[in-house]
Structure formats: C-alpha cells, structure tokens
Amino acid sequence: MTTGRLRIALDAMGGDHGPGVVIPGAALTLERHPEVTFLMFGDEALCRPLLEAHPGLKAATELRGCDVFIAMDEKPSQALRRGRGKSSMWLALQAVKDGEAEVAVSAGNTGALMAMSMFCLRTMAGINRPAIAAIWPTLRGESIVLDVGATIGADARHLVNMALMGSAMAGILFDIEKPTVGLLNIGSEDVKGLDEIKLAGAILRENAFSGLEYSGFVEGDDIGQGTVDVVVTEGFTGNIALKTAEGTAKQIASYLKQAMASSFMSKIGYLFARSAFTALKDRMDPRKVNGGVFLGLDGVVIKSHGGTDPTGYASAIDIGYDMVKYDLLDRIRHAVGHEIKMADAAPPNDETDGTTEGTPS
C-alpha cells in the first residue's frame, strides 16, 4: 500500500462543464482525503476565481495555465494532432509519465483520452491493448465490468489479460483476495460462443491463477444479478451493455415518476412511501459509481462521465486515489508478468473444436 502524500493531475477543462464541476469536485475529495494535493491544468482566467472560493483546495493545488482544450466531439486522431504536448488533457497525462503526479483524471472526450493515454503512457509489458473498467451496481452490491469501450474485438489472450487486470482492480475496491471472474457469453454452456471466448475460458479454467477464481461463462442478466465480481467482455459488447443499462435505469425512473403523478391516490401513496423511494433513488445514483479506470496502461488514468456533477467527479477522483494507494499497477504487473506465462500452453483440442453454437439458451 502506498503511504504519504498523493498528487493527482486534473484536466480542468474536460467534460460538459469544465472547471465548474472539476474544482468543486476536487474540493469534496480533499475533504475526504486531506493528504491529497492536486496539479491542475486549464484556463487560468476560469480556474482561479473558482479556486478562490475553496481556500483549502487552493492551498493544496498548483494551477498551470494552458490555452488548448479538447472538445467533447473532437475525433481522437484530430485531438491527438492538435493537443499533443499542449492541451490540458495531454499535460495531465504527461504529469503522470514524468512522475509529477500518481494519477490523471479527466471528464473529457473518451476517444481522445484513450488515444492520448496510449501515445503518452504506453501499455504495460505483456499487454497489447488497454481496457476501460467500470463499476456496475448489482443486487449483491457492485461488480467490475470490462471492457466498456476502449477497443472493439478481443482475442483469447486479451480476454485473459482483462480477467487478470479486472480481478486486480476488484481486489482493491472490494477487498477480496480472489475475486470471481466470468466471461460474458450467449450462454453458460462450454460449447456456446465464439472460438476466442471458448479458448479464453479454457485457459482460465485450466490454469490456477492465484489472483482470481474463474466461474465460467455468464450471460447478460448475470451482470445485474452480481453473479461474479468481474465480468469480462470485448469493448463493443461491453459498451452496448453499459449504455443499455443506463437507458433502462432512466426508463424505469421515468415510469415511476409518471406512475406516482398519475392520480390523486398515487400521490397520497407516494407520500407514505417517500422514504422507500428516496432509498431507491440513492441506491441507483450513478454518481456513486462514476469513473472508468483505463487498465493496461503504464500509469493510472481515470475517465469521469462528461456530464456528471461535483459529487460524481469526486467519486472518479476517489477511485483514482484508491487505485494508487493500493498499488493497482504493481498488482497488474505481477499478475501479467508472473502468471500469464501459464496461459501460453494451449488447452486440449476438444476445448476449441472450431464449432460456434450461436443459439442463446
């Protein structure tokens, strides 16, 4: 575990609201973690007045002005060409690379942040592609789901790498010695799914990885059930699952609001059940699980939702704090460097006979 002061680099201009959310969010984190200091990059004319409103944060923050900012709708390739070396996003990442900060947090353009992170920090040895890991509320509490949008497609080695990285993150957040891991598939039977998923399942099943417990294939409904601590899938499927869950939550909230206002009696019923609805709203609050972790990079990077408020942004910073304090990078290096070698041995031929049964159960 890392001890002592911890410095966090902030892209103050990222997100829909920029420093108006970043600065009060950082102030909330500082209340919870007074040993933290910040290195902030952004427009000085916008940031300084906001810092003046938070004297404690101002004393704990070094503000470095810059005048290049990445737009939320900017193409990653364009953002990389225009913002490399001089944008608030790049400078926050560069601070991590140079050892000036332990973690970078941005609410900016996801594609641009991933492109810049890969170019600036590179990936760890043994990992070819990064992944975005998200915290997912479940009936059992919370799970980790990855990848939720970093890259599309995945071979067996990448899926195994994600299982190792996700279990390292889950071990930190949930304080579990051996998190359970499942591969997202169209069925729980071993014969179903794409060949690469079946091969990854065979590798995870046949090798005794000390940092995780492989639970087999899981289906879409297992995510919300919390069947396993870590759900592994490729970025295309993971992003669709994430957006579907977000949309469904909004849909249910809208239905409940309409139902409670539909008649006089329903309004009376709401008054009696207000505490229950308040508890439900608190349980479904997306701000509490805001913050995607870019796993596989040679540095800690946290992506906050672009439209969040200060409470949500503080949650993203807090996740970064935990990832550094409990040595996420060292855990991943150990898992990949010392255990992935066991996966080099091919599984028995009958595990991947080339058949792909595409009918869900």
- In order of 19, 136, 288, 304, 306, the CA distances from 309 in angstroms are 11, 19, 11, 10, 9
Which candidate, 268, 197, 267, 206, places its Cα nearest to that of 232?
197
| 103 φ, ψ (degrees, to nearest 5) | -155, 145
Residue 351 has pLDDT above 50, yes or no: no
Confidence of residue 356 (pLDDT cuts 50, 70, 90): very low
Give the mean pLDDT of the chain.
86
Question: Which structural domains are found in the chain, ordered by start?
Answer: 1-127+296-346 (3.40.718.10), 134-287 (3.40.718.10)
Give the total residue count for the chain.
Answer: 361
Which candidate, 56, 25, 3, places its Cα nearest to that of 315?
25
How far apart are the C-alpha atoms of 86 and 92, rounded to whole Å?
A: 10
Confidence of residue 279 (pLDDT cuts 50, 70, 90): low
Which candidate, 53, 218, 60, 47, places its Cα nearest to that of 145?
218
| Cβ atoms 64, 90 nearer than 8 A | no
How far apart are the C-alpha atoms of 187 and 357, rounded to whole Å?
A: 9
Q: Which residues pair with 11 in a beta bridge?
A: 41
Crossing angle, helix 44-52 and helix 19-32, to 10 degrees?
Answer: 40
Which candidate, 213, 218, 158, places its Cα nearest to that of 181?
213
* pLDDT for res 343: 47
Count of C-beta atoms within a 10 Å radius of residue 257: 12
pLDDT digits (tens, 9 = 90+) for 48-95: 999 999 999 999 999 999 999 999 999 999 999 999 989 999 999 999
Q: Which residues pair with 214 in a beta bridge?
A: 181
Count of C-beta atoms within a 10 Å radius of residue 340: 18
* pLDDT for res 2: 66
- What are the residue ranges of helices labelled H in the chain? 19-32, 44-52, 55-59, 76-83, 88-97, 110-121, 156-174, 195-206, 220-225, 235-260, 264-272, 274-283, 310-325, 328-339
Average pLDDT of the segment spanning 260-274? 73
- Range of lowest pLDDT (55-64, 279-288, 327-336): 279-288
- Secondary structure of residue 284 in the 3-state scheme: coil
Share of residues in the chain with pLDDT > 90 (%) = 59
Burial 209-243 (b: 16+ CB within 10 A, else e): bebbbbbbbbbbebbbebbbbbbbbbbebbbebbe
Output the pTM of the full model: 0.85
* pLDDT for res 361: 37
* pLDDT for res 252: 79
Burial (0-12, 13-18, 19+ Cβ within 10 Å), 276: exposed
